[in-house]
């Protein structure tokens, strides 16, 4: 663990990475934090907050870039450890590292440009009657220290130095990261990369701490700590709800950004099914198999109108899936939950098994494709629950209204994928308003797996896909989670924060009297 700059071995309980491809426990053993160590991490984060946020934006950007470089400099050691702890293929881990590094660098650019500060200036009008108008200027400042809970399914891009850490650090918030117990070794390596960047950038050590938790107590105490001002979490619905409850019951409630569960409906329109049903089916199976189905955006639900087109799709998907090799799942626990979820569907009286993938060994998940009718789907809420892994359910709808009703019945989702042809546009247009109310991202002729890290991306959605649909966890908009506005009225120029001054060096884009004025 890193309590600020200090590397310490946790002394509570024992955590070990497990190689899910063999079931073998990995060396070394790690220990969880004591309450005193947690307290120390939070104290350091609180002390670091003011100096860290006061740092020039160039230095903060350089710090993010130093983290990125340090992660790359870990080289193969990091890749090998991540492969060993996650069971993910090497190519995927390398790609994910590129993504983690890329988002740190993208946030560095966002910080340099300073547009995220949301500077607004309404200049004084001393002549206004009956009362002179004061000078009012506002920008957004960081919330304070942020607790980040790493995800199991993206041990690099959504864990210790993942999206939440990158956006919180970019916003000016110190981070206390709680390592996911499934990849302690990866967490240690990445945590060291950040710790070293803190030191080499001359920042206060409390800007970053990494703690382990051998149970749930330390993570819960982290969210309850009065010095923590926001929480980023990616994981299960149960875990996210528990953290939301703790955060709300604090004397000072704080925002929790939890990404929890999503079945990501795929909607097959009639024209597309006619034109290229089997092609879509093969692409669907490829998406479903990515990362052994352990993507938050994995296509867990297929909706289409019953008929020859959907039948052809179902046959083609079944054939492709039957050939699909079982993939090693992230942890024995996730594998067990997957098997139970698949088992429940297979046994369900109103659900038919279309196909199973190839059987695997150890903790490999055998893919599964099921089918049911809209009425049965509507009648049983259990069929709307996420089965985390390569399992998906086709729902056959008698007509367009039945399909719309199934969409209406869904909870909030991260994504919806529409497969359409030119002849489907009118049908799509009717469904779009319903989808907009349900999801964070609507995509056409593709699948939600593979989330671009850019400026327009929304990786979020209404509850329960996330705890707060007003936000995204991927892309540059994510920085907004960790900011709040502050206004300054009639402050003398030399007391104003630099980006709020007139014609400042380091000016940033701003709204002046509600009109955009671009810097440089």
* Span from 284-292, 354-362, 366-374, 432-440 in contact with a second copy (CB under 8 A): 432-440
For a second copy, which residue of 23, 28, 134, 307 counts as binding (CB under 8 A)? 134
- Is 259 designated active site? yes
**Long-range contact list for 194-202, CB < 8 A, 24+ apart?**
194/2, 194/67, 194/70, 194/160, 194/161, 194/165, 195/2, 195/5, 195/7, 196/70, 197/63, 197/66, 197/67, 197/70, 198/5, 198/63, 199/5, 200/66, 201/59, 201/62, 201/63, 201/66
For a second copy, which residue of 8, 72, 74, 141 counts as binding (CB under 8 A)? 141
Distance between CA atoms of residues 8 and 1, nearest Å: 5
CB of 145 to a second copy, least distance (A): 11
If the CB atoms of residues 397 and 458 are measured against a second copy, the closer one turns out to be: 458
Q: Is 467 in the site for a second copy (CB under 8 A)?
A: yes
Q: Which of residues 235-294 bind a second copy (CB under 8 A)?
A: 244, 248, 252-253, 255
For a second copy, which residue of 115, 282, 315, 501 counts as binding (CB under 8 A)? 115
For a second copy, which residue of 126, 433, 503, 520 counts as binding (CB under 8 A)? 433
For a second copy, which residue of 61, 101, 406, 483 counts as binding (CB under 8 A)? 483
Q: Is 423 in the site for a second copy (CB under 8 A)?
A: no
Q: Is 465 in the site for a second copy (CB under 8 A)?
A: no
Q: Is 127 in the site for a second copy (CB under 8 A)?
A: no
Contact (Cβ atoms closer than 8 angstroms) between residue 237 and residue 260: yes
For a second copy, which residue of 7, 325, 398, 487 counts as binding (CB under 8 A)? 487
Beta-ladder partners of 139: 486
Q: Is 136 in the site for a second copy (CB under 8 A)?
A: yes
Selected catalytic residue, list 188, 259, 386, 411: 259
Peptide bond into 28 cis (omega under 30): yes
444 to 280, 330, 395, 402, 463: CA distances (angstroms)? 12, 29, 19, 21, 23
Torsion of CA 290, 292, 297, 298, to 10 degrees: 90
If the CB atoms of residues 29 and 434 are measured against a second copy, the closer one turns out to be: 434
Q: Is 432 in the site for a second copy (CB under 8 A)?
A: yes
Distance between CA atoms of residues 281 and 318, nearest Å: 8
Q: Is 463 in the site for a second copy (CB under 8 A)?
A: yes
Q: Which of residues 443-462 bind a second copy (CB under 8 A)?
A: 443-446, 450, 452, 454-458, 460, 462
Selected catalytic residue, list 296, 339, 386, 397: 296
Contact (Cβ atoms closer than 8 angstroms) between residue 322 and residue 355: yes
Instruction: Quote the Cα angle for 150-330-219, to 5°.
Output: 30
Active site residues: 259, 296
């Amino acid at each position: 663990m890193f309590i600020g700059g200090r590397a310490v071995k946790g002394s509570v309980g024992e955590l070990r990475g497990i190689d899910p491809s063999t079931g073998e426990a990995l060396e070394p053993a790690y220990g969880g934090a004591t309450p005193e160590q947690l307290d120390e991490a939070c104290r350091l984060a609180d002390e670091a907050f003011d100096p860290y946020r006061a740092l020039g934006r160039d230095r903060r950007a350089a710090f993010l870039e130093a983290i990125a470089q340090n992660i790359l400099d870990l080289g193969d050691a990091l890749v090998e450890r991540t492969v060993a702890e996650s069971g993910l293929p090497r190519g995927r881990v390398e790609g994910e590292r590129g993504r983690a590094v890329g988002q740190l660098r993208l946030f560095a650019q966002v910080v340099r440009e300073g547009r995220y500060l949301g500077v607004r200036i309404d200049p004084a009008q001393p002549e206004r009657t009956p009362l002179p108008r004061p000078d009012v200027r506002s920008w957004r400042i960081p919330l304070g220290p942020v607790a980040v809970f790493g995800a199991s399914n993206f041990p690099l891009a959504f864990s210790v130095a993942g999206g939440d850490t990158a956006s919180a650090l970019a916003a000016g918030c110190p981070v206390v990261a709680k390592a996911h117990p499934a990849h302690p070794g990866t967490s240690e390596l990445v945590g060291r990369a950040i710790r070293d960047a803190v030191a080499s950038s001359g920042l206060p050590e409390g800007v970053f701490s990494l703690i382990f938790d051998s149970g749930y107590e330390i993570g819960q105490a982290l969210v309850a700590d009065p010095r923590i001002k926001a929480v980023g979490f990616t994981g299960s619905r149960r875990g996210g709800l528990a953290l939301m409850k703790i955060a709300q019951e604090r004397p000072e409630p704080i925002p929790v950004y939890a990404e929890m569960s999503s079945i990501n409906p795929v909607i097959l329109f009639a024209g597309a099914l006619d034109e290229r049903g089997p092609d879509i089916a093969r692409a669907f199976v490829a998406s479903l198999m990515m990362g052994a189905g352990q993507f938050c955006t994995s296509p867990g639900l297929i909706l289409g109108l019953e008929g020859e087109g959907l039948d052809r799709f179902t046959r083609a998907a079944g054939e492709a899936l039957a050939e699909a090799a079982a993939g090693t799942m992230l942890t024995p626990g996730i594998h067990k939950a997957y098997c139970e979820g698949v088992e429940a569907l297979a046994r369900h009286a109103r659900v038919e098994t279309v196909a199973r993938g190839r059987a695997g060994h150890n903790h490999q998940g055998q893919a599964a494709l099921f089918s049911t009718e809209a009425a049965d789907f509507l009648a049983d809420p259990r069929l709307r629950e996420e089965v985390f892994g390569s399992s998906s359910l086709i729902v056959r709808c008698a007509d367009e209204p039945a399909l719309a009703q199934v969409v209406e019945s869904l909870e909030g989702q991260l994504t919806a994928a529409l497969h359409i042809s030119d002849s489907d546009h009118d049908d799509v247009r009717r469904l779009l308003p319903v989808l907009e109310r349900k999801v964070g991202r609507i995509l056409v002729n593709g699948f939600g797996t593979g989330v671009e890290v850019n400026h327009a991306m929304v990786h979020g959605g209404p509850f329960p896909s996330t705890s707060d649909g007003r936000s995204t966890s991927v892309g540059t908009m994510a920085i907004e989670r960790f900011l709040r506005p502050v206004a300054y009225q009639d402050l003398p120029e030399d007391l104003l924060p630099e980006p709020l001054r007139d014609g400042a060096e380091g000016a940033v884009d701003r709204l002046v009297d509600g009109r955009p004025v671009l810097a440089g």
